[in-house]
Chain A
């Protein structure tokens, strides 16, 4: 993909604005002055050593973690203690987890229709149509009536993506979506994510899949010790890192 293609479809609207965000776990300072602006249609990959705060950063965006200092504005709604705002933001932000977190007591279809029915108040039939649409997109419509436990890891993660998409979110967060998968299943999940990116979804993705970052992302962010150390377009990030820490990290994961 050329630079042009990469910046294609990026709008002017700011979807996520993080300003001097700080967070502590007890005495431990996990996020230090995080500043991040994400525009509509941007695809951002966060990488960094474990414990660097990348998962915490994206989990702050839908308030799975509470930040103690700074501002976060998502889709023009400020994240503060107000429950209404939190609910409003969660409706618009989809999330995919490392361990899928599918509901094991519900079928694949029920997993996908649960939130549309109870949160979006869609009629059941309509919710099922939406669900089938997205299950087709992740290429597992035939598994709709099975239970999550009956599927492979890759299939489960694709269901999790479909489940998030059924809420028609404006932003998708991915928290290491392929780390818990067997190697042969990584590709099917990444392909799904690439498809999503091509449709112009705003995406933030914590991942160590550097191939994915190179082809899909239009910005790669490197975090270490709770700070954003470097951010750059992928070509520049991988071929000409500006920072010593980044170089060291890339050297470790790219062999």
Chain B
């Protein structure tokens, strides 16, 4: 009885009651703010005569796009245009991730080289490129470098197969021929054979301790089987080499200048960060680990594969993933040079044409949110699984 008198008199001083009150207050404030913004938006839209909703996605877009991975023409709908943009965003992101990873790992490892010159050069690379805004780098490649490149008639040619001019980079494209089916079958067979071989090597080593040159054999298999298929059944594909016809090149694949500039700048920029990630990941494995492996008589290559890499990859993978996410988000800088990615097509052109600001931006943002959140979810699972078990 006496207790309850005490509390009822000073509800403000009861921490639990205060927590409840505070939370309710927080929710009310957020809800009120949301309602206020919603209300304002409604009135504003009404006054401007914009009907909200996603019906516009069905309407015909009426403009062309400089690069599309799926069939698209001017009469197609905004919805299809969204897919074009999404595909272009994914194209830049995936190619950029591959290039940045290769470059970043090479430079990160070079950063730890016993060679002084190599070490210094990679340090200079890292410190230069990560301290210059990516958009400026994109502009540099697009407006400074690619503008200096001559026109189609004076293209820079590499081995008469690659051509660079101010309309883009032209590369040979494979076109399937008669031998394609046997060739693909042979590739699949070689891969399957290598996997089976790998299993067998492991089983045999567990049983007898004897080794086997697995990598070499697999490479030979992967070259020999498809090669044999090509010899017997004819070439699987032939290359169409770009050729100058009239004022431009025909045949082959073309990397448009916007894609080229974006790809080079983003890979170079992100590689600097990946290199730092790789360096610190490798350095996080203490020198004692190498010494212990050495003192057991393990060869340097084996030490690297069994001791250093497994440990450093645990450290490298989480920040590496966030670099991949950054690159994907930075691909939106495409808007600066007019590469038709999702942001510049949808949050730029479509928004201007239709005035559907809320819808277009919401769609664009949700794509990025879905990508980001699903990757961080995967990362959390990975971290939980990979965490070193400690007491």
Contact = CB atoms under 8 A, between A and B. Distances in A.
Contact of B206 (A90, A97, A125, A149): A125
A123 B204 CA distance: 8
Contact of A101 (B208, B209, B288, B299): B288
Interface string A144-166: 00110111100000001001100
Interface residues of B, number: 29
Contacts, number: 89
Contact of B298 (A62, A115, A124, A146): A115
A64 B209 contact: no
A121 B209 contact: yes
A104 B207 contact: no
A103 B307 contact: yes
Interface string A14-52: 000000000000000000000000000000000000000
Given A118-B302, A123-B208, A125-B206, A163 B389 contact: no
A123 B295 contact: no
A67 interface: no
A119 interface: yes
A95 B295 contact: yes
A123 B207 CA distance: 5
A147 B297 contact: no
A62 B390 contact: no
Nearest to B210: A121
A54 interface: no
B288 to A, nearest CB: 4
A255 interface: no
B298 A150 contact: no
Interface string B195-225: 0000000000111111100000000000000
B292 A119 contact: no
Contact of A91 (B289, B297, B306, B310): B297
A22 to B, nearest CB: 22
B314 interface: yes
Given A101-B288, A118-B302, A123-B206, A94 B295 contact: yes
A225 B90 CA distance: 64
Interface of A: 62, 64, 87, 90-91, 93-95, 97, 99, 101-105, 114-115, 117-127, 146-147, 149-152, 160, 163-164, 167
Interface of B: 205-211, 286, 288-289, 291-299, 302, 306-307, 310-311, 314, 388-391
